[in-house]
Structure 1
Amino acid sequence: MNLWGIDLGGTKIECAVLDSTRNLEVVARMRLPTESVKGYQHILSQIKRLIEMVSEQVGEGPTKVGFATPGVLEPDSQLMKNSNTICLNGMPLKKDLQEILDVPVQLANDANCFALAEALMGAGREHHTAEVVFGVIMGTGVGGGLVVNNKIISGHHGIGGEWGHNILEENGEPCYCGKAGCVEQVISGPALERFYERESGEKVTLKVIMDRFHEGKDEYAKATMERLLEYYGRAISTLINVIDPGLIVIGGGVGNVDLLYTAGYDRIRKYIFNKGVVTTPIMKPKLGDSAGVFGAALL
């Protein structure tokens, strides 16, 4: 049986087909540009076009399709919300997809799909006894997904795992969500770059900041990494205190900062409700940018 997944991104739409009878072997993968500036109906037509192209390649169409989406489908209204692809918000995406594709579809937030794929196909294979897996996204934004016993926990409002919009810094930067000082406005890549610019007067990328930190001569780079580690420790410790996962996987560009996996543990120990003992495996992802589309297929 083939499992079909679509990763609906802001710039690209990717389809993957996995063979469930052959250890989730990849049967086909294909991408099209999202072209979201052309609007909601155009995105739907691009999805249908991609499905048709992959169906031709595979030799058969899907019987159902999983979708990794930016934002989430509101359980009560069945309308999309919290999507940075703005034209999706307020739209009945699941209903419309089922109509144009004429098959059942399942939607989940892209962070949830990341967590599911890593739990079943990625880092989770090294920690197969972990009943609770939390997937962290630390990149342009900050998000998360929660998987318990190989099942996504979407939650009552559809926002399960959304740790990026809890207040981390009192009187911090305003966030698009309406609050200020959210995790996303403190330890995302752009937030760290803004902090460095405020301190140094120079606008550079996070990679440059990291390079300067490792050179050991830039006090502003050191202050930026100190800020990252301290607030990362606070944010992750809260996560552990609430759900105590057996595995945490960190995706996104900020997740490439190696200090998170070494000195980061020391900061978590400061705040964890466990007498300073932290044994939670915290890992980089194994699937790279494939996690979203694989997770969608696994839905």
Structure 2
Amino acid sequence: MIVCFDIGGSAIKGAVAHSVERIEPLGRRPTPLDDFNAFAETLRLVIDEAGGKQDRIAISVTGVVDPETKAIKCANIPCIDGRKLSAELSDILGVPVLVANDADCFALAEAGAGAGHGHRIVLGVILGTGVGGGLVVDGKLINEDGGFAGEWGHGPAVASVAGTPPVAIPAFDCGCGQRGCVDTIGGARGMERLHLTLHGKTLTSEEITTLWQAGDAEAARTIDVLVDLISSPLALTVNITGATIVPVGGGLANVTPLIARIDKAVRARILRKFDRPLVVPGECGIEPGLIGAAILGLGGEFQ
């Protein structure tokens, strides 16, 4: 038995995992942001709620573990930023602790129990507030030891012109410190930024996608440009990884027509041709972070 966690900037969600098919949710608690002792104690309370003897703890968390130093970089939860989280929590909780990025856990969940089940190479993509991703090969997370593999949302990869007819697109500053990253135009905030740039109007991503599906011309222009901008870097990532399925999570994954548009554009730009959908909505709609953490903790027993 393991206890798994999905930890974000607002909440810590826990579950007991006996197998991938048997994951029992535990309590949900606010995330202590500035007090590491309180953070660790919150985990302990959830573990105590689980009862029994745990083989290990597995955590899906916002942030990236450095594969060499094992320190985590996590802007959303200051009290864990820079810490060797796995080792420190193992000492405090008295049980081995595995830590992985939340996008990586999404990819692991989709590979084991979602749209990627049965595929050898699964590229999980997040189109949420921003853009993220994770890579699973032969049932194993490429980033088991930490790192940035699969993070197609960062790096200056956005074209300077896009859409039909073409329009100039500025290289927006990214939170990672670079300019022109896919993250700046590809997620919900990116869509809103594009709409403001193209039309001088401030709308939410929900408003833009609703207007688009209702036939609004300005919203359609925004979606056209967005799809054009993100499809080439995503196609390149598919070419490099050899992924045969690309499940999508995050809020924009719920806009099925948008995912279908991206799929069509990506399949037109990759070397290998598929006569079936490649970029698809993720199937682990409820708690993919917990499912991915469970699979991580269980050692990939879904195979």
Alpha-carbon displacement from aligned partner over 1:89-122 (angstroms, at most 9, x marks no partner): 2112111110111001111111111111111112
Q: Choose which of 240, 246, 249 in structure 2 pairs with 1:248.
A: 246
SS of the residue aligned with 1:123?
coil
Give the number of aligned pairs: 286
SS of the residue aligned with 1:145?
strand
Higher relative helix content: 1
Residue 223 (structure 1) aligns with: 221
Matched residue type, 1:44: A
Alignment of 1:78-117 (within 5 A): 78-81=70-73, 83-117=75-109
- Is the contact made by 2:100 and 2:146 (CA closer than 8 Å) also made in structure 1? no
Residue 203 (structure 1) aligns with: 202
1 CA distance for matches of 2:32 and 2:49?
Answer: 17
1 CA distance for matches of 2:135 and 2:266?
Answer: 19
Change (3 A) 1:280 1:154: farther
Residue 140 (structure 1) aligns with: 129
2 CA distance for matches of 1:271 and 1:122?
Answer: 25
Matched residue type, 1:32: R
* In the alignment, structure 1 residue 285 sits paired with structure 2 residue 290: no
Residue 165 (structure 2) aligns with: none
1:83 Cα offset (Å)? 4.2
Structure 2: 5+ residue runs without aligned partners? 161-169, 297-303
1:280 Cα offset (Å)? 5.7
- Is the contact made by 2:8 and 2:76 (CA closer than 8 Å) also made in structure 1? no
Alignment of 1:1-299 (within 5 A): 2-20=1-19, 24-36=21-33, 38-55=34-51, 60-81=52-73, 83-125=75-117, 128=118, 130-154=119-143, 158-169=147-158, 170=160, 171-217=170-216, 219-274=217-272, 279=276, 281-299=278-296
Alpha-carbon displacement from aligned partner over 1:200-252 (angstroms, at most 9, x marks no partner): 333221111111112223x3211210122112311221111101212110000
1:279 Cα offset (Å)? 4.7
1:85 Cα offset (Å)? 2.6
2 CA distance for matches of 1:42 and 1:264?
Answer: 42
Matched residue type, 1:168: A
Residue 299 (structure 2) aligns with: none
2 CA distance for matches of 1:76 and 1:210?
Answer: 41
Structure 1: 5+ residue runs without aligned partners? none
Change (3 A) 1:8 1:290: same
SS of the residue aligned with 1:163?
coil
Alpha-carbon displacement from aligned partner over 1:164-221 (angstroms, at most 9, x marks no partner): 112222551101111101110011101111221233333221111111112223x321
1 CA distance for matches of 2:290 and 2:29?
Answer: 13
Deviating more after overlay: 72-81 vs 102-111:
72-81
SS of the residue aligned with 2:230?
helix
- Is the contact made by 2:116 and 2:246 (CA closer than 8 Å) also made in structure 1? no
4+ runs deviating over 6 angstroms:
none
- Is the contact made by 1:232 and 1:267 (CA closer than 8 Å) also made in structure 2? no
SS of the residue aligned with 2:153?
helix
Matched residue type, 1:124: G
Q: What's the % identity of the aligned pairs? A: 32
Deviating more after overlay: 251-260 vs 91-100:
251-260
TM-score norm. by structure 1 comes to 0.88
1:257 Cα offset (Å)? 2.5
SS of the residue aligned with 2:125?
strand
1:157 Cα offset (Å)? 6.4
- Is the contact made by 1:245 and 1:280 (CA closer than 8 Å) also made in structure 2? no
1:45 Cα offset (Å)? 2.0
Matched residue type, 1:290: E
